[in-house]
């Protein structure tokens, strides 16, 4: 029996689907340029993350627009029904004939970037350019949660509750052309740091475990701080007072991924949004009913927690003037 065609409601829902979220969650190689997301390998395909408009430089006749279906059919090469199904995350046959049975989308194989034989660029970028404490970076590297790939990018590994690598967030180290994306095959996994009851004991910080999938106990986190990137997460960890970060989870979504929050919400943790101080961040907080914890960004007039860290570090740097030379009188 042939599969039914999409309904008008389904088509309209797919037309308005979030394109940036679709490409990130499905493992496409992407690069963030301020409010634009560049989808690599498709002739200059760009998505405006604030308006959801798309444009492809290599196919100027396909002028782009806000229709997500057209983007997948004209640029990616899908047929109409496949594009609607992809954007909705389910097949038409399942919607029409088996509404109570959901078949999860096929997971793409995780492909991690090939590691380099050193981490010089990563340490230089994170510690000097981004002003993150070298002890924090060393801790991640020591726990095999951060490495440098052969292109010089920083690769933050996502781990599940069993310690298996299930995804990765990639951050470029070229200050002039910053690349941000995820490894192919990364879906809704998260980069996390679990902080225990007392920071002063040294062993209270456990990085990389996706603790949101575990049942809460008296020793499990009671709240989760949500960030858009691993660098913002690490910056917040460095800024925050240890006594204020007890029994919690620091979480990087590698973007704005509402689907990733469901596991955290189901675990019973209180979700605190530390996303960027911009329109996309405000909409994310409102649409997901999160508790905002990024008010300090407004006060300092910065976009994210790394900008805040650099501003605070800049204020702390005191340039000492050399003592005035003593004038020697001539005899």
Q: How many Cα atoms sit within 13 Å of 307 on the Cβ side? A: 13
pTM, entire model? 0.61
CATH number assigned to the domain covering 8-97: 3.90.580.10
Each residue's pLDDT expressed in tens, for the chain with a length of 331 residues: 344 677 888 888 888 999 988 888 877 888 887 778 888 877 778 898 888 888 877 665 556 788 899 888 888 888 888 888 888 875 444 334 333 344 444 556 888 999 999 999 999 999 999 999 999 999 999 999 999 999 899 999 999 888 899 999 999 998 776 677 888 888 778 999 988 754 333 334 555 544 333 433 346 888 999 999 999 999 999 999 888 888 899 999 887 777 778 778 888 889 999 999 998 889 889 888 899 999 899 889 999 999 999 999 875 443 333 444 544 444 4
Per this entry, what is the length of the chain?
331
Domain locations along the chain? 8-97, 120-315
Q: How many Cα atoms sit within 13 Å of 134 on the Cβ side? A: 6
In the DSSP assignment, the letter for residue 328 is P
């Amino acid at each position: 029996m042939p599969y039914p065609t999409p309904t008008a409601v389904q088509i309209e829902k797919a037309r308005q689907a979030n394109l940036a979220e679709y490409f990130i969650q499905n493992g496409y190689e992407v690069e963030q340029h301020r409010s634009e997301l560049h989808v690599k390998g498709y002739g200059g395909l760009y998505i405006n993350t604030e308006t959801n408009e798309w444009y492809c430089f290599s196919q100027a006749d396909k002028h782009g627009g806000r229709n997500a279906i057209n983007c997948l059919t004209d640029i990616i090469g899908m047929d109409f029904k496949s594009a609607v199904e992809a954007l909705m995350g389910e097949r038409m046959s399942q919607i029409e004939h088996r509404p109570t049975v959901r078949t999860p989308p096929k997971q793409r194989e995780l492909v991690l970037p090939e590691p380099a034989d050193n981490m010089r660029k990563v340490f230089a970028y994170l510690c000097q350019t981004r002003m993150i404490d070298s002890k924090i970076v060393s801790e991640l590297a020591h726990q095999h949660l951060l490495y440098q790939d052969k292109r010089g990018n920083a690769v933050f590994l996502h781990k599940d509750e069993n310690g298996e690598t299930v995804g990765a967030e990639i951050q470029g180290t070229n200050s002039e052309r910053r690349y941000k994306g995820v490894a192919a095959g990364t879906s809704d996994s998260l980069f996390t740091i679990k902080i225990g009851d007392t920071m002063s004991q040294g062993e209270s910080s456990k990085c990389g475990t996706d603790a949101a999938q575990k049942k809460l106990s008296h020793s499990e986190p009671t709240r989760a701080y949500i960030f858009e990137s691993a660098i913002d997460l690490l910056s917040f960890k460095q800024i925050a007072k240890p006594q204020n970060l007890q029994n919690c989870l620091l979480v990087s979504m590698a973007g704005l991924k509402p689907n990733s929050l469901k596991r955290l919400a189901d675990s019973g943790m209180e979700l605190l949004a530390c996303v960027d101080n911009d329109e996309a961040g405000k909409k994310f907080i409102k649409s997901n009913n999160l508790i905002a914890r990024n008010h300090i960004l407004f006060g300092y007039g910065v976009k994210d927690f790394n900008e805040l860290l650099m501003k605070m570090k800049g204020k702390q740097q005191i340039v000492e003037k050399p003592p005035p030379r003593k004038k020697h009188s001539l005899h």
